[in-house]
């Protein structure tokens, strides 16, 4: 089994998640450009989620480029990841309708944390199926980024009740950490180029 169809399905689900979030946003109540001001927080939450989901797509893309074989376990690990990503629009809508309630921000941490777990399970399933010397296994190594993300989101859930800005800083920090290109996977992909 090649990776073609799992990539196509994942692309489809992520494309839908990233696009339907906008369906959830309330348009400004007024008719002037200034009325957009009240929409700024939810639009920023949308930007943040778009970048986050886009980051998962980007990483998934690289992961699959380095994967040769898939099996049933990988299909389910991938579905687990997609399930949690699909809850991102739900949490964004909760923010919008509750005027950024604390509970929504805490729930966002749970959703992103479980998505990080799903990504980890996907990586593990690839390694289990392609062997400990496979490109993904070598690229991921000890996977401090994966563990770090899960840890940060675990911390963010209770922290949402203390300081929203600290939580936002944590979330942005995780994004920054993943935006820095992963040299190992880039080097290993370069080696694989014919």
Binding site for a copy of itself (CB under 8 A): 1, 5, 7-9, 11-20, 22-25, 27-28, 30-36, 47, 50-51, 54, 57-58, 61, 64-65, 72, 75-76, 79, 82-83, 86-87, 89-90, 93-94, 97-99, 101-104, 106-107, 181, 189
Distance in Å, CB of 169 to a copy of itself, minimum: 20
Tokens coding 181: 């290109």
- Nearest-5° angle of CA 144, CA 54, CA 93? 105
Distance in Å, CB of 61 to a copy of itself, minimum: 6
Distance in Å, CB of 132 to a copy of itself, minimum: 22
- Nearest-5° angle of CA 24, CA 26, CA 29? 170
Distance in Å, CB of 129 to a copy of itself, minimum: 13
DSSP single-letter state for residue 37: G
Of 84, 64, 86, the closest CA to residue 74 belongs to 64
Give the nearer residue to a copy of itself in terms of CB position, either 21 or 123: 21
Tell me the C-alpha distance between 151 and 146, whole Å.
9
Give the nearer residue to a copy of itself in terms of CB position, either 13 or 123: 13
């Amino acid at each position: 089994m090649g990776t073609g169809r799992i990539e196509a399905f994942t692309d489809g689900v992520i494309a839908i998640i990233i696009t339907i979030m906008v369906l959830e946003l309330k348009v400004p109540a007024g008719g002037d450009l200034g009325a957009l001001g009240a929409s700024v927080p939810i639009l920023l939450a949308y930007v943040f989620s778009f970048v986050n989901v886009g980051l998962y797509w980007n990483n998934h893309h690289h992961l699959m480029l380095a994967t040769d074989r898939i099996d049933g376990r990988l299909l389910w690990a991938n579905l687990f990841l997609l399930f949690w990503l699909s809850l991102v629009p739900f949490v964004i809508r909760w923010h919008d309708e509750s005027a950024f309630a604390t509970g929504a921000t805490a729930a966002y941490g749970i959703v992103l944390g479980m998505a990080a777990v799903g990504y980890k399970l996907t990586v593990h399933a690839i390694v289990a199926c392609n062997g400990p010397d496979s490109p993904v296994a070598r690229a991921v190594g000890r996977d401090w980024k994966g563990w770090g993300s899960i840890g940060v989101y675990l911390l963010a859930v209770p922290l949402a009740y203390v300081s929203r800005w600290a939580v936002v800083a944590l979330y942005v920090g995780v994004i920054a950490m993943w935006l820095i290109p992963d040299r190992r996977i880039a080097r290993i992909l370069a080696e694989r180029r014919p």
